[in-house]
Amino acid sequence: MEVIVVERPEDAAPIVADAYSRLLAAKPDAVLGLATGSTPLGVYDELVRRYEAGELTFASARAFLLDEYVGLPADHPERYRAFIERVFTGRVDLRPDAVQGPDGLAEDLSAAGVAYDAAIREAGGIDLQILGIGADGHLAFNMPMSSLTGRTRLKTLTPKTRLDNARFFDDDLDQVPRHCLTQGLGTIMESRHAVMLGFGLNKAQAVRECVEGAVSARWPASVLQLHPHATVVVDAEAASQLTFREYYRTTYDGKPDWQGI
């Protein structure tokens, strides 16, 4: 696991965007794994900037979302499929039919989870998966005590998550879905490169536990310690509880530019 400590969240965007640029230059039809939430927005903005500057094209790429609410109507603005289109995929030249998310409107949700993992496999697997860490260490909707080897499946949202997300539903808890389909930690672990971002003091404990603590379902993102190519990019606040943060800084500063992440 490579840990990169930057000063501010905006310093992370070019580092992560460089990973996309390198990947797409080598493999224009790469398969991208996309997260929603606020953490990756700076990276998406930087990718859009590079696309608009003619430095990057996604025309042959494909993308898979991490998760989706169950039961929100197809035209609901808070569906993750709609969210990602607003903040990223609709702003670059990714073909709309090249972007997929778990089918939260499927009649058979278990079968939809299995079909989603199969679709990722058929696409050749995810080359670059971007992730945001939750304050309790969750990854996608794999909350504490989720299986470390789970596949895409139906999960029940915790009361805390529903409360946190009520802000996107007119602060009306009744409107917040109770269930979701989420890639499992096992699915996420099959990505060829996993890049997890964490910003702000409220992520500091989770970053400490997941990066330097024991691998445990108690802190789901700790499973990335077992990933053969995981990169964690955190700002100074999120890194504030890391014992080895100076070591991470020195190591990254001494890395040759051509190596990338």
d(CA 195, CA 243): 21
Candidates 132, 150, 184, 220: give the one binding ligand F6R (CB under 6 A). Answer: 132
The correct pick among 9, 33, 37, 220 for binding ligand F6R (CB under 6 A) is 37
Which of 13, 98, 140, 185 is in the footprint of ligand F6R by CB under 6 A?
A: 140
Stretch that binds ligand F6R, among 53-61, 135-143, 170-178, 218-226 (CB under 6 A): 135-143
Contacts of 130 (CB under 8 A, 6+ apart): 16, 32, 33, 34, 35, 40, 43, 195, 197
Is position 113 an interface residue for ligand F6R (rule: CB under 6 A)?
no
Q: What is the DSSP letter of 192?
A: S
CB of 25 to ligand F6R, least distance (A): 26
Task: Write out the binding residues for ligand F6R, residues 53-82 only, by CB under 6 A.
Answer: 66-67
Dist. CA 63–CA 36, nearest whole Å: 13
Estimate the crossing angle of helix 9-26 against helix 41-52, to 10 degrees. 50
Q: Contact at 8 Å (CB) between 141 and 67?
A: yes
Q: Which of 7, 8, 38, 218 binds ligand F6R (CB under 6 A)?
A: 38
Q: Based on the shown chain and the rule CB under 6 A, indicate whether residue 155 belongs to the binding site for ligand F6R.
A: no
What residue has token string 């990854």?
A: 139
Under the binding rule (CB under 6 A), the answer on residue 36 touching ligand F6R is yes
The site for ligand F6R (CB under 6 A) is made up of 35-39, 66-67, 132, 134, 138-141
